[in-house]
């Protein structure tokens, strides 16, 4: 019904053209009016040209409309009011179809932005890719966990993370797989799960992964704390009465047996051996008590008393505390702080204790190096502007590769006189501040401990 005016006009033009040609032939052959015949033929040629133009314009409008649909250009509009009557209905339909497509596209874009926002909100890394590895979607968590700000094809990450790509292109399983990724500043432990989705005969793989190292370390530390709490409780229950009884017996021996020894009824050597044994028992028991009390600190770390803390002031204060020791040990100590004043909401005493422990370890690591260097540096985390990173760098002996997985385990130490709780205690304090403590070590070239903490967000604070 919409095209009936167009059809009628085409039929009328064709009929008029036919009648004109018949009339020209009739006049020419019947009356031999050749001039009139030529005029009618010229009129017929003009009618053909007008018909071609009429059909061609319709064809061009149709072609413009189809090309706009093909290229998703829904801004194209056809004139209705100023167009000839035969084109108005066609142009109106074109405009209505274009508006419908534009509305569908807008709704699709809204849904896409909604899903993109949901995906970006997830703390779990998410990547979708095809069978060639071409990435279609990759959220911020995935970029952060892989430490890759830009990635178009998953195969490009094979050199850095071969075990990740092996799982990505492998056979999907119901259970996730655990893999370790060695990054520049830390090692992350990921649980990875891959599933396959078929869309319009195309295979799409969805890979999700999450860093569970922090959760595992937190659970491990909690287990250690419970174990320490039980052991120290039982040991202290046994040690305390031993210390008390040993001290009492030692006093009793000194008061009661001294007259007997002076009277010659007890040999003096025996008396000395008895007193020496009691003093040894008391000394070793008190040493055990001190040993147990030292480890009980892991289960008694108080919550931080938070207050606005200037990082520059914190580092400068710690620098003054260790400056004399650095000079005595002939260590070149350098401090690098940002020009911008950075603030934390933290417990100053606890963070001072953490930094002092890290600097002390760095000094001990440099003890066998001729040219000793230690650097204390603070700056915003390049991966996240809301975090600050404090680094302690030394060129000492470092940490052996076989010991790097154990340095934060309570009681583990490579030092003859070490207790093995310094780094465990430091990490626990940092975690209570919502931060993280990790390290990289290449013996003798460089060992770096990274202390990452959230910055204080406060209006007007500079």
Instruction: Tell me the mean pLDDT in the region 353-364.
Output: 90
pLDDT score at 260: 58
Average pLDDT rounded to a whole number, residues 286-314: 74
pTM recorded for the entire structure: 0.52
Residue range 237-260, pLDDT digits in tens: 656 666 666 666 666 666 666 665
Query: Quick count: other Cβ atoms within 10 Å of Cβ 220?
Result: 13
pLDDT tens string 121-162:
777 888 888 888 898 888 888 887 787 888 888 888 888 888
Q: Which residue in 55, 57, 51, 58 sits closest to 18, CA to CA?
A: 51
State the pLDDT confidence band at 461, using cuts at 50, 70 and 90. very low
Provide mean pLDDT across the span 191-212.
82
Residue of 372 and 401 predicted with greater confidence: 372
Length of the chain: 462
Dihedral sign (CA 323, 329, 332, 333)? negative
Segments in 122-148 forming alpha helices (H): 140-146
Residues 325/331/332/335 CA torsion (nearest 10 deg): -40
* Residue pLDDT, tens place only, 33-88: 778 878 888 888 888 887 777 777 777 777 787 888 777 777 777 777 766 666 67
- Strand-pair partners of 376: 335, 392
Arithmetic mean of pLDDT, 167-171: 84
Q: Which residue has the higher pLDDT, 64 or 277?
A: 64
pLDDT per residue as tens digits for the range 213-237? 665 556 565 655 665 565 565 566 6
| Statement: residue 352 has pLDDT above 80 | yes
* Tokens 């890394």, residue located: 125
Is residue 383 within 8 Å of 147, Cβ to Cβ?
yes
pLDDT number for residue 378: 92
Q: What is the per-residue DSSP string for 165-182?
A: HHHHHS---SS-EEEEEE
pLDDT band at 462 (very low <50, low <70, confident <90, very high): very low
Contact 364, 399 (CB under 8 A): no
CB atoms within 10 A of CB 311: 23
Secondary structure E strands in 172-319: 177-182, 187-199, 202-211, 307-310
Is the CB of residue 408 less than 8 Å from the CB of residue 424? yes
Question: What is the rounded distance in angstroms from the CA atom of residue 392 to the CA atom of residue 439?
Answer: 9
Distance of alpha carbon 137 from its chain centroid, rounded? Answer: 15
Residues 432-460 pLDDT 10s? 888 888 888 887 788 999 999 999 865 34
- Bigger pLDDT: 255 vs 184: 255
């Amino acid at each position: 019904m919409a095209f009936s005016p167009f059809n009628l006009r085409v039929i009328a033009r064709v009929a008029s053209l036919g009648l004109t040609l018949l009339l020209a032939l009739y006049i020419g052959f019947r009356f031999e009016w050749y001039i009139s015949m030529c005029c009618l033929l010229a009129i017929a040629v003009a009618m053909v040209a007008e018909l071609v133009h009429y059909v061609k314009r319709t064809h061009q409008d149709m072609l413009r409309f189809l090309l706009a649909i093909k290229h998703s250009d829904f801004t194209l509009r056809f004139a209705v009011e100023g167009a000839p009557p035969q084109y108005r209905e066609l142009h109106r339909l074109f405009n209505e179809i274009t508006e419908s497509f534009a509305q569908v596209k807008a709704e699709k874009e809204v849904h896409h932005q909604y899903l993109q926002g949901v995906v970006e909100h997830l703390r779990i890394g998410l990547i979708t890719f095809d069978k060639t590895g071409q990435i279609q979607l990759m959220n911020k968590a995935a970029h952060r966990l892989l430490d890759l700000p830009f990635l178009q094809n998953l195969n490009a990450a094979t050199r850095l993370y071969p075990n990740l790509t092996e799982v990505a292109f492998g056979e999907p399983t119901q259970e996730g797989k655990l893999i370790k990724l060695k990054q520049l500043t830390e090692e992350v432990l990921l649980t990875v799960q891959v599933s396959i989705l078929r869309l319009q005969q195309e295979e799409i793989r969805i890979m999700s992964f999450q860093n569970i190292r922090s959760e595992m370390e937190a659970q491990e530390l909690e287990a250690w704390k419970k174990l320490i709490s039980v052991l120290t409780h039982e040991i202290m229950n046994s040690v305390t009465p031993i210390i008390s009884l040993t001290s009492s017996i030692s006093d009793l021996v000194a008061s009661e047996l001294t007259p007997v020894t002076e009277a010659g009824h007890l040999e003096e050597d025996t008396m000395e051996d008895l007193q020496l044994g009691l003093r040894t028992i008391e000394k070793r028991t008190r040493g055990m008590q001190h040993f147990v009390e030292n480890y009980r600190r892991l289960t008694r770390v108080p919550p931080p008393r938070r207050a606005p803390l200037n990082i520059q002031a914190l580092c400068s204060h710690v620098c003054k505390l260790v400056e004399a020791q650095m000079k005595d040990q002939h260590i070149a100590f350098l401090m690098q702080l940002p020009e911008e004043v950075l603030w934390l909401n933290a417990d100053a005493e606890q963070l001072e204790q953490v930094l002092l422990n890290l600097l002390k370890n760095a000094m001990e690591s440099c003890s066998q190096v001729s040219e000793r260097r230690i650097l204390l540096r603070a700056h915003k985390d390049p991966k996240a502007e809301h975090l600050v990173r404090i680094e302690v760098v030394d060129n000492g002996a470092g940490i052996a590769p076989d010991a790097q997985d154990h340095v934060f385990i309570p009681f583990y130490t490579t030092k003859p006189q070490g207790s093995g709780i310094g780094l465990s205690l430091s990490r626990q304090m940092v975690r209570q501040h919502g931060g993280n403590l990790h390290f990289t070590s290449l013996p003798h070239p460089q060992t770096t401990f990274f202390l990452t903490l959230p910055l204080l967000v406060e209006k007007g604070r500079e």
